[in-house]
Amino acid sequence: MFRKDYIIVLVLISIFSCKHHTKSDVNNSVTIEVNSNSEVKTNQVIDYKKLISQDSSYISYGFDFPVGRPDANGYYNAQKFQENNHLGDDWNGIGGGNSDLGDPIYAIANGYISEAKDYKGGWGNVVRIVHLYNGMLYESLYAHCDSIIVKQNNFIGKGDKIATIGNCEGTYFAHLHLEIRDSVGLDIGSGYSMNTTGYLNPTKFITKNRN
């Protein structure tokens, strides 16, 4: 009897210390929260630096334009960053109207596809890629896509085709809304704001950081 009780006490101690350790271990790639009723849920707080560093071929070494690879040949920026408080660039084909509908969109750099989904409303199909560049994390966001070719939670190489240019089911003339953020995993946002915290001027950033 004594031995059995002793074992139960040992088991209880180890369960308690496991929980305690998990709670304090917040720097790991996935945060585990332990509720009072012992339910375990994952929070999907991904350590992108750790994830992308695992394979040097997915680290970014430079950026290209997302259309008319690699220099945006045949396209122009119809609404520049902060024009009308715009938080990105709008890439349109020089043919105007819907002439660029279905044209390929390319990953601007190596990275990890953190999201590929239909946000509906004014956003439509959106792809988000996280980039590790010079030890810093960046996110590129491609919106209003006609079709998404890639799947979420996969690595991607610079210049790989990820989607096609769309018009958000007729909401606009076809174009690509491109954002570059230096804060990863923010809400999708509104696309327009005077407050540019977390957002970068995409053309300026790409031009400054070519391979």
Interface positions with Zn ion (CB under 5 A): 90, 177
CB of 168 to Zn ion, least distance (A): 10
Which residue's CB comes closest to Zn ion?
177
CB of 189: closest distance to Zn ion in angstroms? 11
Smallest distance from Zn ion to CB 87, Å: 8
Nearer to Zn ion, 68 or 202 (CB): 202
Residues 6 or more apart in contact with residue 207 via CB below 8 angstroms: none
Smallest distance from Zn ion to CB 191, Å: 6
User: Closest distance between Zn ion and the C-beta of residue 86, in Å?
Assistant: 6
Between residues 64 and 179, which has the closer beta carbon with respect to Zn ion? Answer: 179
Compute the least distance from the CB of residue 26 to Zn ion, in Å: 36
- In 3D space, the residue among 8, 43, 7, 6 whose CA is nearest the CA of residue 22 turns out to be 43
Token pair of 143, please? 């919106």
Q: Convert the chain into a string of H (helix), E (strand) and C (coil).
A: CHHHHHHHHHHHHHHHHHHHHHHHCCCCCCCEEECCCCCEEECCCCCHHHHHHCCHHHCECCCCCCCHHHHHCCEEEEECCCHHHECCEEEEECCCCCCCCCCEEECCCCEEEEEEEECCCCCCEEEEEEEEECCEEEEEEEEEECEECCCCCEEECCCCEEEECECCCCCCCCEEEEEEECCCCCCCCCCECCCCCCEECHHHHHHHCCC
Closer to Zn ion by Cβ: residue 88 or 111: 88
